[in-house]
Chains A and B, each alone.
Chain A
Amino acid sequence: MSSGLIEWLIFLSLAMIAIVTAAGMIITMSMYRAGLALMASFVALAGLFILLNADLLAAIQVMMNVGGMLVMVLFMVMMMMDPGGEMMWGMKRDMHMRGPGALSMHMPSGPPPPEEQEGQLDAGAMSDMDVQETEVGGHDMSDMEMGSMTPRQNYTMMVDMAMSTAQLPWAIVLGVVSALLLVILLILTPWPLAGIAPTQDASRVVGELLLSRYMIAFEGAALLILAGIAGAVLLAKRERSRVQTPPETKQRGEQP
């Protein structure tokens, strides 16, 4: 096999990994898995950088994103309800929602059903409700424990639980159009640097540029980060001072 063919194969597989894991990030219900899928997508992009002989960029990409995503996942596990997506999966299974993963929980289509008054649930309304329930998102609610819900309640519940907004079709159209525009730009643009050989010692060149031409931006970023650290420390200190520590004698008294 020629090296060009191998390069093409590596490019295609890395690109596939990047796209599939990015899609997986959207589809999965587990926040932990979503964070990991995003991490895998970025690592695949780092592989593409290596393919372009930009190994410094690839290493920076891995360093920034793996650590950053892990901290993000950690915060989701600490702060959010149901980070593993177990509750959502249970609902999807019990309510027989169709569609891959989180995409099955979309916004109900059509206008919201009218608010019911008490005592007006006669036989006609009940049959109406059954029809509407099959219309709303196409969910079969017959064997659910919550089968006694009114259409209005069901509608508001689905709006609360939805993992996408009502603008989903428009977002898809916009995404496809912008992707097409990008591809057209890619083809039409003359790439002036395409014929030049890559630099051998990228770290040296980047370091010299950072400390000469882009020095003000570099030092400014350092100042911003320092201000961020100082602010975080200040906020954390203020929070701690408010918490009252229990007197030590009481703790000692409780010990057997």
Chain B
Amino acid sequence: MSVFITPLFVVCVLLVGTYFIAVIEQLLRLGLRSIGIALTLPLANAIRLLYQEDLTPRGADFFLFRSAPFIALAVVSLVALVIPLGPTLIAFNPSIGLFYFIVLLSPFVVAITNAAWSQNSKEGLFATFRAAAYLISYEVPIGFAAIGPVMATQSLSTQRIVEVQAGLWFVVWQPLGLAIYLIAALFVSFRHPFDSALAGSELEGGAFAEYSGGRLLLFKIALAALFLLLMAMGVVLFFGGWQGPVLPGPLWFALKTFALSALVLWLAHFFPRLRHDQMLTLSWKILLPASLLNITLVGILTLTIPVGR
């Protein structure tokens, strides 16, 4: 029976977490006083989108246009399986959990490029190129940033990475790795400073320009869920996952994840949107050398300070 209950549980947790990400976004926009509006506005937006007509533009690649949101949602739910919520609360615990997570992020970009290409418009074509350029530019920094905790743990299993951080969180001696990871995470999830593929002001929504109704809602859920999962993986890698005193593990994990999400979203507010060539420059000329430096530092520290081995 667990074959059916586990996916249901994962999807429910994912939807609730996505709702809270939307609430945090609204709170950052409206201020802490209007918490009532922030709590209801995401639901109202969802209901409004469900009432909207689901249009398919003329000349669209019908099959790709229709299937793209479902690919995005499927990828997000598959990625969610390897996040450990508690000491035994993990849906799928392979020995290569972290590698599985990073590998399955790239089909999400395929969903975005499909959505952009299939709508048969110039804005969509530009968004296709930009989204594909993101895939090439984020894969290396996020992989190299995640290698730091793996080197310290000597395992790719997400559960093992959390267990090793019982004494000391990795963020204490790998702050550079955390910074690279968070910037790359904003890349992956098409968030504000790096959202030129979905830019409302220059491409009229880019990849989502022609989407409306339920399919747009699915895409928005998938995007918010992807951001949530990346922040959750950041907590797993650098902030000790579900480890914490007094409170139960899953509660600690949720608190850390939402705190990190709020912090990252708040910090992202201070930056203007980067042009696509600036993004590529940032990725290849700054993040890649920095992540190599981080790997060297972590290697030296791992050999000199025996942490949790």
Residues on A lying within 8 angstroms of B by beta carbon are 30, 32-33, 36, 39, 43, 55-56, 59-60, 62-63, 66-67, 70-71, 73-74, 77-78, 84, 86, 200-203
Alpha-carbon separation in the docked complex, A55 to B78 (Å): 14
Alpha-carbon separation in the docked complex, A56 to B139 (Å): 18
Q: List chain B residues, Cβ under 8 A from A70.
A: 106, 109-110, 113, 132, 135
Residues on B lying within 8 angstroms of A by beta carbon are 59, 61, 63-64, 94-96, 99-100, 102-104, 106-107, 109-110, 113-114, 117, 120, 125, 128-129, 132, 135-136, 139, 156
Alpha-carbon separation in the docked complex, A28 to B156 (Å): 40
**Are B110 and A39 in contact, with the CB atoms below 8 A?**
yes
Known contacts A63-B103, A77-B128; decide if A71 and B95 are in contact (CB<8 Å).
Answer: no
Query: Can you list 6 A-B pairs, Cβ within 8 angstroms, ordered by A?
Result: A30-B61, A63-B103, A67-B135, A70-B109, A70-B110, A74-B128
**Are B117 and A77 in contact, with the CB atoms below 8 A?**
yes
Q: List chain A residues, Cβ under 8 A from B114.
A: 36
Identity of the chain A residue whose Cβ is nearest the Cβ of B154 in the assembled complex: A204
Alpha-carbon separation in the docked complex, A39 to B113 (Å): 14
**Are A63 and B95 in contact, with the CB atoms below 8 A?**
no
Alpha-carbon separation in the docked complex, A23 to B110 (Å): 21
Number of residue pairs A-B, CB distance < 8 angstroms: 66
Alpha-carbon separation in the docked complex, A78 to B113 (Å): 14
**Are B95 and A202 in contact, with the CB atoms below 8 A?**
yes
Known contacts A30-B61, A32-B61, A62-B107; decide if A74 and B100 are in contact (CB<8 Å).
Answer: no
**Are B117 and A32 in contact, with the CB atoms below 8 A?**
yes
**Are A66 and B136 in contact, with the CB atoms below 8 A?**
no
Q: Nearest-CB distance from A60 to chain B (Å)?
A: 8
Known: A63-B106, A71-B136; 6 extra A-B contacts, CB below 8 A, are A55-B94, A55-B100, A56-B99, A59-B96, A84-B120, A86-B59
Q: Nearest-CB distance from B70 to chain A (Å)?
A: 13
Known contacts A30-B61, A56-B96; decide if A62 and B136 are in contact (CB<8 Å).
Answer: no
Q: Nearest-CB distance from A90 to chain B (Å)?
A: 12
Q: Nearest-CB distance from B167 to chain A (Å)?
A: 24
Known contacts A30-B61, A59-B100, A70-B132; decide if A200 and B95 are in contact (CB<8 Å).
Answer: yes
**Are B94 and A33 in contact, with the CB atoms below 8 A?**
no
Q: Nearest-CB distance from A207 to chain B (Å)?
A: 10
Identity of the chain A residue whose Cβ is nearest the Cβ of B114 in the assembled complex: A36
Identity of the chain A residue whose Cβ is nearest the Cβ of B133 in the assembled complex: A74
Q: List chain A residues, Cβ under 8 A from B100.
A: 55, 59
Identity of the chain A residue whose Cβ is nearest the Cβ of B157 in the assembled complex: A201
**Are B99 and A59 in contact, with the CB atoms below 8 A?**
yes
Alpha-carbon separation in the docked complex, A56 to B94 (Å): 10
Known contacts A32-B61, A201-B95; decide if A59 and B113 are in contact (CB<8 Å).
Answer: no
- Taking a contact as CB atoms closer than 8 A, the residue among B96, B132, B136 that contacts A55 in the complex is B96
Q: Nearest-CB distance from A36 to chain B (Å)?
A: 7
Q: List chain B residues, Cβ under 8 A from A200.
A: 95
> What 6 pairs across the A-B complex have the smallest Cβ distances?
A63-B103, A59-B103, A74-B132, A66-B106, A201-B95, A62-B103
Alpha-carbon separation in the docked complex, A43 to B96 (Å): 18
